[in-house]
């Protein structure tokens, strides 16, 4: 911990920037706005922004219909979300959350733009699901104010957020981001900065092993998913879950584990690699281990 970190008071967060309007970023802005934060959503793709706003509008409307949210509360929350492609919009944010694709090069490029425009006192967090927080922090001008905030998907429904300190992360940064998580009515679990942290360190090798089970012909897609749902009481089969997460993300996490821990048990299954090469990434491309182009998902193997 830095000497500066010991002297600093815990920052108060009122305005939060989110970079990336995909599935994760779109969910994060929704829960932040409902918790009363002023939110700035940045993405270079206006269509992605429009989809994120439409999804937030639709999901909050559903909450109103169920009586879980007042219509006035909904309108107030949605009005708190500002959007754009210019990183200069982040200038007044006290916390900035990077929620881009799980690619270290992309994230480092984004972080370099963030530090050009962010207030010098702003905290920066990454929603990475596997990449070293220490290494990402070193790409910024404020490693002591950098932390991992790994939200679970889908963000509005999942209670857990993994909070990961890099080697330089100071206590005020940790306490400030933990307070944000608590205000979102979510639970923070602290993880050490090792590849894939806690959830994905356990979950993704299970999914990868399910793909190996398919690859080796032990069972087909339907048999594997049914076996784990009925035999292990999982709410969703591992291959169905892989499609939901995105097969490209599953592969990226397995590659981080394999390279970071140098253990052959984390070697990505060749069949997973092949699906990603084919562009069959799961639900987001309408094809993965299931084909979603019809009314009912059909196994592809």
Catalytic residues: 129, 150, 162, 200
Return phi, psi of residue 16, to 5°: -130, 130
CA–CA distance, 256 with 26 (Å, rounded to integer):
25
Closest CA to 11 of 182, 179, 172, 171: 172
Q: Strands of the chain (E only): list them.
A: 15-19, 38-42, 81-84, 95-98, 123-126, 146-151, 160-165, 187-191, 290-291, 298-299
Side-chain half-sphere exposure of 105, counting CA atoms within 13 A: 1
- Rounded Cα distance between 65 and 53, Å, is 18
8 A C-beta contact, residue 27 and residue 127: no
* Token pair 């997973």: residue: 272
Q: Is 246 left (phi over 0), alpha (psi -120 to 50) or beta?
A: left
- Does residue 204 contact residue 257 with C-beta atoms inside 8 Å? yes
Strand 187-191: give its sheet, edge to edge.
81-84, 38-42, 15-19, 95-98, 123-126, 146-151, 160-165, 187-191
């Amino acid at each position: 911990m830095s000497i500066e970190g010991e002297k600093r008071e815990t920052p108060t967060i009122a305005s939060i920037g989110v970079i990336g309007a995909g599935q994760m970023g779109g969910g994060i802005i929704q829960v932040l706005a409902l918790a009363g934060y002023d939110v700035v959503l940045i993405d270079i793709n206006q269509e992605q922004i429009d989809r994120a706003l439409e999804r937030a509008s639709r999901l909050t409307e559903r909450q109103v219909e169920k009586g879980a949210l007042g219509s006035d509360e909904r309108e107030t929350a949605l009005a708190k979300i500002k959007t754009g492609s210019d990183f200069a919009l982040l200038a007044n944010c006290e916390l900035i959350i990077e929620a881009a694709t799980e690619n270290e090069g992309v994230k480092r490029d984004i972080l370099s733009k963030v530090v050009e425009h962010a207030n010098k006192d702003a905290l920066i967090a990454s929603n990475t699901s596997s990449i070293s927080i220490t290494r990402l922090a070193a790409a910024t001008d404020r490693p002591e104010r950098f932390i991992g905030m790994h939200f679970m998907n889908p963000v509005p429904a999942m209670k857990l957020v993994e909070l990961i300190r890099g080697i330089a992360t100071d206590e005020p940064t940790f306490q400030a981001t933990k307070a944000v998580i608590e205000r979102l009515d979510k639970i923070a679990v602290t993880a050490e900065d090792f590849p894939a942290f806690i959830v994905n360190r356990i979950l993704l090798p299970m999914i990868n092993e399910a793909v190996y089970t398919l690859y080796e012909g032990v069972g087909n897609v339907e048999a594997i998913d049914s076996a784990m749902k009925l035999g292990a009481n999982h709410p969703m089969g591992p291959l169905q879950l892989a499609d939901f997460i995105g097969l490209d993300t599953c592969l990226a996490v397995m590659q981080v584990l394999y390279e970071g821990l140098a253990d052959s048990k984390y070697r990505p299954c060749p069949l997973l690699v092949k699906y990603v090469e084919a562009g069959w990434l799961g639900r987001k491309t309408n094809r993965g281990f299931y084909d979603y182009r019809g009314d009912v998902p059909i196994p592809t193997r």
